A and B are shown apart, each in its own frame.
Chain A
Amino acid sequence: DQQVKQNSPSLSVQEGRISILNCDYTNSMFDYFLWYKKYPAEGPTFLISISSIKDKNEDGRFTVFLNKSAKHLSLHIVPSQPGDSAVYFCAATPYNNNDMRFGAGTRLTVKP
């Protein structure tokens, strides 16, 4: 069963515009949510996270929004840069738990 879903396999945006990547989850026990970025032939790297007690977390150009009632989170990148082109994975876990579940990823392409 896929408990974390990223329904958009790909997204293309123009440099300087906003990128919005979406993620849905089904497990109510998830308490902590993370976004990872992955370049080809590299391992995923941690980007930003949010706990369920918050609905927004910002780090520079990256903001993650959490809507617990809808079981939905999104990652906003503003402004988007060509170097942001990568695959973005959404992940979720019960707090301090080892069973982290990942979405299938969204490939973001930022065009110059």
Chain B
Amino acid sequence: NAGVTQTPKFRILKIGQSMTLQCTQDMNHNYMYWYRQDPGMGLKLIYYSVGAGITDKGEVPNGYNVSRSTTEDFPLRLELAAPSQTSVYFCASRQGARYNEQFFGPGTRLTVL
């Protein structure tokens, strides 16, 4: 049982490039989340999903897109990378219903130059 896995661990992008951050969970959780954490700040919610085929915006969705075709996977897409998207990205999942605790992946450190 690996929990929540994220790839890649690190990535450097040039301005205007695109990439997809991968997230997979093997706990059969319905709810999945993407956060970003900037230095000295708390985590901010980018997008979330309550089940396959259902996604919704969080606090800071601009510049990102998501999809959820399976319960296990929740990729985050950056279409036109900008320096403001330099951050550490965390994916999380939770069981749902009465369980509010989220389980986090190890993070992807992204630098846009």
Where the two chains meet, the residues of A that have a C-beta atom closer than 8 Å to any C-beta of B are 2, 4, 6, 9, 32, 34, 36, 41-46, 49, 89, 91, 93, 95-96, 98-105
Across-interface contacts of B40 in A (CB, < 8 A): 9, 104
Counting CB contacts under 8 A, is B33 at the interface? yes
Interface contact A104-B41, CB-CB below 8 Å: yes
A101–B4 Cα distance when bound, in Å, is 20
A91–B97 Cα distance when bound, in Å, is 18
A105–B56 Cα distance when bound, in Å, is 26
Closest to A42 in B: B106
A-B contact pairs, 20 of them (CB 8 A): A4-B42, A9-B40, A32-B100, A41-B106, A42-B107, A43-B4, A43-B90, A43-B105, A44-B104, A89-B43, A91-B42, A96-B98, A98-B31, A98-B50, A98-B58, A100-B102, A101-B42, A104-B40, A104-B41, A105-B42
Across-interface contacts of A96 in B (CB, < 8 A): 97-98, 100
Q: Which of B31, B33, B103 contacts A46 (CB 8 A)?
A: B103
- Contacts A43-B105, A98-B31 known; 4 new A-B pairs at CB < 8 A: A32-B100, A43-B104, A102-B43, A105-B42
Across-interface contacts of A103 in B (CB, < 8 A): 42
Interface contact B4-A100, CB-CB below 8 Å: no
Interface contact B100-A49, CB-CB below 8 Å: yes
* Known contacts A41-B106, A99-B59, A104-B40; A46/B101 CB under 8 A: yes
Counting CB contacts under 8 A, is B110 at the interface? no
Interface contact A43-B42, CB-CB below 8 Å: no
A28–B45 Cα distance when bound, in Å, is 19
Closest to B96 in A: A96
Q: How far is the CB of A81 from chain B (nearest CB, A)?
A: 22
Q: How far is the CB of B2 from chain A (nearest CB, A)?
A: 13
Closest to B9 in A: A41
Closest to B100 in A: A32
Q: How far is the CB of A9 from chain B (nearest CB, A)?
A: 8
Across-interface contacts of A45 in B (CB, < 8 A): 104
Across-interface contacts of B31 in A (CB, < 8 A): 98
Closest to B107 in A: A43
